[in-house]
Amino acid sequence: MRWRSLAAAALSTMLAGGALAAPQTGTAVGVDPDASARGNGGARTLAVGSDVAVGETVVTDANGQVQILFEDETRLVVGPGSSLLIEKYLLRGNENTDRFAINALSGSFRFITGRSPKAAYEIKTPSATIGVRGTAFDFTVDALNLTTLVLFHGSVLLCTPGGQCVVLDSQCQVGAVDMVQSVRIRPNSRLRAQFPLIGSQEGLLADFRVAQADRCLRPSTGGTPDSLSHTGGGDSTPQPQTQTQGNAGGSITPTTVPTTNPATGNLTNVP
């Protein structure tokens, strides 16, 4: 019976090894050095064809960039000088995901949804959560943990950790969330400076480029007013707020602010 004991021992070793190995989540299909994946097993240099797994943090230096294709055809770009943790990726048998969670720690990113249902996606930053509704967008997290997002198509729910949210659903619309729990719509006149990936799409593979990004570099005059939406704390029922902007002559211009309808729970625009 010695061979049975050896076979059982070998099977146990294989199963233990499989339990310890991180499952493949996505593949790095485009890499500009230097870029690495850091996990419990230490750091490893990423190259084209490298697997990226749950629990790993993708880190790039000032010149690095990684384009990751996931099994459900979701596409993610980790731009230069960036750091992003892949928290969860639960794949169904039909190659869609039940859960896709990432934590963007710092830097610049592009996210393009794949086949999975919108409810499966969860994106976090130090200051915001991003609800994805079948879309493509760029976002950044700066040194002060300000999260800024530009929408290319689809829609996004941009929220503070306290639950105050705005819906972005217009092409080239920009939203921002800061560490003092405010979320707002911002002007889109500085997109090239705010979002590095917009101005350098030639460095991306064709499937990671977005045609609308080029159009956003030529926005219509005027842009979207920089309006404050909600701030955390205080009454649990958000009240309509209007930010005013003064000029040299002392006049003020009110802006339209998204707020929550207490009766329905839906976000509406209040003049």
The burial class, CB within 10 Å (0-12 / 13-18 / 19+), for 9 is: exposed
Phi, psi (5° rounding) for residue 221?
-65, 145
> Cα 260 vs. chain centroid, distance in angstroms?
24
Cβ atoms of 29 and 205 within 8 Å: the answer is: yes
Rounded Cα distance, 76 and 74, in Å? 7
Phi, psi (5° rounding) for residue 204?
-105, 150
Cβ atoms of 51 and 62 within 8 Å: the answer is: no
The burial class, CB within 10 Å (0-12 / 13-18 / 19+), for 21 is: exposed
| Coil/strand/helix, residue 110 | strand
Location of structure tokens 């064809």: 49
What pLDDT tens digit does each residue of the chain (271 aa) get?
443 443 344 334 333 433 334 456 899 999 999 999 999 989 999 999 999 999 999 999 999 999 999 988 999 999 999 999 999 987 665 566 678 899 999 999 999 999 888 888 999 999 999 999 889 999 999 999 999 999 999 999 999 998 999 999 999 999 999 988 788 887 777 788 889 999 889 999 999 999 889 888 875 544 443 333 333 333 333 333 333 233 333 222 223 334 333 333 444 333 3
Cis-peptide into 34, omega within 30 deg: yes
- How many other C-beta atoms are found inside a 10 Å radius of the C-beta of residue 186? 19
DSSP 22: P
CATH number of 22-224: 2.60.120.1440
Cβ atoms of 224 and 174 within 8 Å: the answer is: yes
Closest CA to 140 of 107, 181, 102, 171: 107
Rounded Cα distance, 41 and 134, in Å? 34
Closest CA to 157 of 132, 176, 175: 132
| Helix ranges (DSSP H) in 108-251 | 191-194, 211-216
Q: Is the pTM of this model over 0.85?
A: no
The number of residues in the chain equals 271
Sketch the domain layout of the chain as residue ranges. Answer: 22-224
Helix-strand-coil split of the chain, %, nearest 5: 15, 45, 45
Q: Which residues contact 170 (CB under 8 A, 6 or more apart)?
A: 151, 224
Residue 101, token pair as written in the block: 């969670």
What integer pLDDT is reported at residue 183 of this predicted model? Answer: 84
What integer pLDDT is reported at residue 181 of this predicted model? Answer: 73
